[in-house]
Structure 1
Amino acid sequence: MVHEQTDGGPAHGGPPDVRPSSSPPLPPGARLLGLAGLIPFVAGALALALLDDPARGAAARVLAGYAAVIVSFLGGIHWGLGFARTRAPTTMFLWGIVPSLIAWVALLLPPAAGLVLMATMLVLCYGVDRAVYPRLGVAHWLPLRRTLSVVAVLSCAAGAWFA
């Protein structure tokens, strides 16, 4: 879902929505905290690769649960971005709940299928953000988002393979 510009911008007589090409640096600690957020993904995938049943089943549920939290968080970011706008389109808020609902469904599936759905949602969330962030002036977050998404997707895919 691509969010349309509705809260000003040059075409509407307001300030531009997109920052100039000189984007601000990420806040201090954001990269480190983002990378720390990958620990449960990598640890979960490793646990699934190394553990035997029944511990493997528990590890799959833990990894799927963490992935669901992160997918929900990625959707929630769009609510925050929408709140910051004068007239945010409804699609921003609609997209904000879609990842949470799909993540919830994924938790109801067998672990391997749920992890595949989580990996798919992580890719979809990144794709939406890649389309939307530049229009909202937050494109400078995309390189970090790409790194975090790649590791999270690979971890979920590996977890699904071993689940």
Structure 2
Amino acid sequence: MVTAESASVTLNLAPHPLALRLGYAGLIPFVLGALLTWLVRPDAHPYVTDALAKYAALIVSFLGGVHWGLGQRQALPSPSRFVWAVAVMLLAWIAVVMPPYAGLAALGALLVACYVVDRRVYPAHGLGTWLVLRFRLSAVASLSCFIAAAGS
């Protein structure tokens, strides 16, 4: 039988090594996209910025989905978890249809906002140990979006 105490101990463990590897591997499209934005021929530029923006929007939606899951875990769910999950997804969708210089900057800002919210929410759900990874991933991903926006 799982008690509240044992569940809390399980939740406060450091991220699984596979989660670390997958998280860092997930930065490859961000870094590559930012780099290619500055290196490709003008005719390929729209494809690179579009691919990076769509990938960033997927990641923002994924981060929102974590909050949806946190809301589902609660006996009395906080509506704010569900609202945040949907709000960031909708904002990411809007950013994808914007011109790349604006959309990529908006996506970079959304990635920062997701981290700021997670910094407040994760500890209350026993996920504080994930914040170091979240910071590193968010810093590189948002910086990549900002660099690509500057190259658009």
Q: TM-score, normalised by structure 1?
A: 0.86
Runs of 4+ in structure 1 deviating by more than 2 angstroms, as ranges, are none
Q: Which has the higher helix share?
A: 2
> What RMSD in Å do the two structures reach over aligned CA positions?
1.7
Counterpart Cα distance in 1 of 2:141 and 2:25: 12
Give the corresponding residue for 2:40. 51
After TM superposition, give the deviation of residue 25 of structure 1 in Å.
2.0
C-alpha distance in 1 between matches for 2:135 and 2:95? 22
CA drift at 1:82? 1.1
Query: Offset of 1:34 from its aligned partner?
Result: 0.1
Instruction: Report what 2:81 is aligned to.
Output: 92
How big is the shift at 1:23?
3.2
- Written as runs of structure 1 = structure 2, the 5 A alignment for 1:2-21 is 19=8
Aligned residue number for residue 66 of structure 1: 55
Identity %: 46
Which of residues 122, 131, 138 in structure 2 aligns to 1:133? 122
Amino acid at match of 2:53: A
Q: Give aligned pairs, total.
A: 147
* Letter paired with 1:73: F
- For structure 1, the residue ranges without an aligned partner over 5 or more in a row are 1-14
Provide the C-alpha distance between the structure 2 equivalents of 1:137 and 1:126, rounded to a whole number of angstroms.
16
Question: Structure 2: which 5+ residue stretches go unaligned?
Answer: none
Per the normalisation by structure 2, the TM-score is: 0.92
Q: What amino acid does structure 2 have at the position aligned with 1:104?
A: W
**Residue in 2 aligned with 1:153?**
142
